[in-house]
Amino acid sequence: MEVIDLAWWKLGLATLLILALAATSHLSRLGIARSLLIATVRTVIQLALIALVLEALFASSAFYWIALMALVMLLVAGREVVSRQGRKLHGWWAFGIGAGAMFVSSFTVTVLALIVVIGPEPWYAPQYAIPLLGMMLGNNLTGISLALDRLNESVWRQRAVIEGRLMLGQTWQEALEDIRRESMRSGMMPSINAMAAAGIVSLPGMMTGQILAGSPPAVAVKYQILVMLIITAGTGFGAVMAVSWGSRRLFDERERLCLDRLVKS
Amino acid sequence: MCHVRTRSDYECRRELLHCSVDPVLKGLLLENVCIGGLGSVSLEVPDGQVICVSGPSGSGKSRLLRAIADLEPHGGRILLNGTDQLSVSAHHWRRRVMMVPADSQWWFDKVGEHFPDLTGDRLPPALGFPPGVMDWSVSRLSSGERQRLALWRALTLEPQALLLDEPTANLDGDATIRIENWLLAEIRRRHLATLWVAHDPAQIHRVADAHFRITGTGLEPDHGSD
């Protein structure tokens, strides 16, 4: 089955729809026109650039270029985790904990999936490694930033309860038990919801893309299941690490709550 | 705020003070404790005795209690029955030297969930609760009820020293006297070294074995109420 390539001018037709929406918004003073247009321009430019990068990467497929690409993706994701938290740990801790947790979970799970499950030749073949890592990081980023945001915000608001529990001789883990559970739940919720709704409420984007590109649905579905499972596992382990490192950092060596380590973004 | 005191600093001080510590003192011992505006507080709180601390609001009474419970970084040494605060883990220390804050905290839905095992069922009659209070929802408790229950919750954990921050602040006259008498009986019976922050001179007169007043940066003994 041949893939129908899209001519650039045909994308212009889709752009017209956005322009129409922006015009409607402007006329009825809904106030989204500006951000809508900026986001549209960003999408086009960012994706066009990444297409160039991927073309070059696929052509060379040298390991160090792929590793460099993965590193850049990780750093950008780490920065994004920091910017999505209302209150965050001061200094480099917020970035370090977010990026560290994403590195350990995303990279481990992606490499595992590449070597053990998919098995391309070589295992880091960019057309498998980069999209897989991208999806892992994207979802991990959402999960970890939601979990850390919830953790920091709850600790900030429930300072009196946490200290009250410490006064009764509880360890810092016991005093933070409920908050850690809530934070994990809030980080995992998007992945769990996505799995529960998959195929019934929504057709996941990757599978849709593969089918549009000409894959038989049975193959596309298998890839989609693989991706969803590893995304959920990766997000879960990432959130576990981020929440436990982040909550440890909120206490000092004498198990005192140190709210001065949290700053408002 | 949470700076790390270097080990060597602490050890030097331990060497210096070693011979000055009475190894048999039963109770709570504060040596040159500094916290916030308080410069250097040294105090002995013997077993089974109540030492009252008073002072204007903002003078650092609560922070002193927090330092003794090791909830805030502070200077100086604090010992319980000869055991240095820093030689045991923080949660073990707080289990033995228990602070009851002025506004107690309740985090589960039901009152009974905050009490370990069956200790809630042995609620002393002096606290004035009807049977079944353990099934109450926390949200229906008044501030006075919370305060009385918080005192019992702390005692069920069997501490060796008590740090009470205005324990009767939300109680009316009769209840105050009743709770004072019950607390004093428990303190004597359990041999608890007790530091009691109070502002009412009449209460201090009733409960205190000794009274100290915060003046500026230190504690001064007050004999006026004896």
Query: Quick check: is B7 in a domain?
Result: no
Residues of B in contact with A164 (CB under 8 A): 101, 104-105, 107
**Among B166, B102, B103, B154, which Cα is nearest to A169's?**
B154
Task: Tell me the CA distances in angstroms from B136 to A65, A166, A178, A223, one per residue in order.
Answer: 64, 24, 21, 53
Q: Which tokens go with A55?
A: 């073309």
Chain B nearest-CA residue for A253: B4
> Which of A161, A255, A258 lies nearest to residue B107, judging by beta carbons?
A161
pLDDT at A138: 92
Amino acid identity for residue A222 in this structure = K
Claim to verify: residue A45 and residue A85 sit in the same structural domain: no
Q: Domain total for chain A?
A: 2
pLDDT at A2: 65
Q: Coil, strand, or helix at residue B30?
A: strand
Say if residue A257 is exposed, middle or buried (CB neighbours under 10 Å; 0-12, 13-18, 19+): buried
φ/ψ of residue B212, rounded to 5: -120, 145
> Which of A158, A167, A171 lies nearest to residue B98, judging by beta carbons?
A167
Query: Quick check: is B78 in a domain?
Result: no
The pLDDT-based confidence of B12 (bands split at 50, 70, 90) is very low
pLDDT at B86: 95
Contact B2 A165 (CB under 8 A): no
Residues of A in contact with B80 (CB under 8 A): none
* Final residue before a domain boundary, out of A43, A60, A77: A60
Q: Domain total for chain B?
A: 1
Report whether pLDDT(B118) > 90: no
Task: Tell me the CA distances in angstroms from B3 to A66, A125, B72, B195, one per residue in order.
Answer: 42, 49, 10, 26
Q: Which domain holds residue B177?
A: 46-72+89-221
Claim to verify: residue A77 and residue A116 sit in the same structural domain: yes
* pLDDT tens sequence across A193-230: 989 988 888 788 888 888 888 889 999 999 899 989 99
Q: Which domain holds residue A8?
A: 1-60
Residue B95 belongs to domain with CATH number:
3.40.50.300
pLDDT at B117: 78
Interval B71-80 mean pLDDT: 95
C-alpha of B8 from chain center:
30
- Sign of the alpha-carbon dihedral angle for A224, A227, A231, A237: positive
Claim to verify: residue A24 and residue A77 sit in the same structural domain: no
Task: Tell me the CA distances in angstroms from A163 to A222, A258, B71, one per residue in order.
Answer: 49, 10, 8
Residues of A in contact with B157 (CB under 8 A): 168-169
CA distance A188 to chain B (A): 24
Q: What element of type H or E holds B77?
A: strand B75-80
Interface of A with B (CB under 8 A): 158, 160-161, 163-172, 178, 252-258, 260-261
Claim to verify: residue A120 and residue A208 sit in the same structural domain: yes
Contact A256 B107 (CB under 8 A): no
pLDDT at B25: 74
Claim to verify: residue A25 and residue A129 sit in the same structural domain: no
pLDDT at B224: 61
Q: Coil, strand, or helix at residue A91?
A: coil
Distance (Å, rounded) from C-alpha A66 to C-alpha A42?
24
In chain A, beta strands by DSSP E? 87-89, 262-264
> Which of B1, B90, B154 lies nearest to residue A168, judging by beta carbons?
B154
Report whether pLDDT(B2) > 60: no
Claim to verify: residue A81 and residue A91 sit in the same structural domain: yes
Query: Quick check: is B159 in a domain?
Result: yes
pLDDT at A31: 84
CA distance B42 to chain A (A): 22
Task: Tell me the CA distances in angstroms from A189 to A192, A207, B3, B194, one per residue in order.
Answer: 5, 21, 37, 48
Query: Quick check: is B226 in a domain?
Result: no
Name the CA dihedral angle for B124, B129, B132, B135, rounded to a multiple of 10 degrees. Answer: -100
Claim to verify: residue A105 and residue A46 sit in the same structural domain: no
Query: Quick check: is B110 in a domain?
Result: yes
Contact B104 A165 (CB under 8 A): no
Task: Tell me the CA distances in angstroms from B8 to A198, B11, B82, B110, B192, one per residue in order.
Answer: 59, 5, 21, 47, 33
pLDDT at B119: 72
pLDDT at B11: 46
Regions of chain A where pLDDT drops below 70: 1-2
Query: Quick check: is B127 in a domain?
Result: yes
3-class SS shares of chain A: helix, strand, coil, % to 5: 75, 5, 20
Q: Which tokens go with B180?
A: 């004072």
Query: Quick check: is B207 in a domain?
Result: yes
Distance (Å, rounded) from C-alpha B14 to C-alpha B75?
12
Q: Which tokens go with B219?
A: 């504690």
Claim to verify: residue A212 and residue A133 sit in the same structural domain: yes
Contact B71 A256 (CB under 8 A): yes
Query: Quick check: is B9 in a domain?
Result: no
In A55-160, beta strands by DSSP E? 87-89
Claim to verify: residue A148 and residue A49 sit in the same structural domain: no
Claim to verify: residue A66 and residue A56 sit in the same structural domain: no
pLDDT at B225: 44
pLDDT at B226: 44
Q: Which residues pair with B29 in a beta bridge?
A: B44, B79
Distance (Å, rounded) from C-alpha B194 to C-alpha B206?
14
User: What's the predicted TM-score (pTM) here?
Assistant: 0.86
Task: Tell me the CA distances in angstroms from B123 to A260, B127, B151, one per residue in order.
Answer: 39, 8, 11
* Final residue before a domain boundary, out of A36, A60, A84: A60
CA distance B223 to chain A (A): 31
Contact B70 A254 (CB under 8 A): yes
Claim to verify: residue A28 and residue A80 sit in the same structural domain: no
What DSSP assignment string belongs to A197-237?
HBTTTB--HHHHHHHHTT--HHHHHHHHHHHHHHHHHHHHH
Claim to verify: residue A151 and residue A255 sit in the same structural domain: yes
Q: Which of the two residues, A8 and B51, has the higher pLDDT score?
A: B51
User: In A49-58, which positions are buried (b, 16+ CB within 10 angstroms) versus exposed (e)?
Assistant: eeeeeeeebe
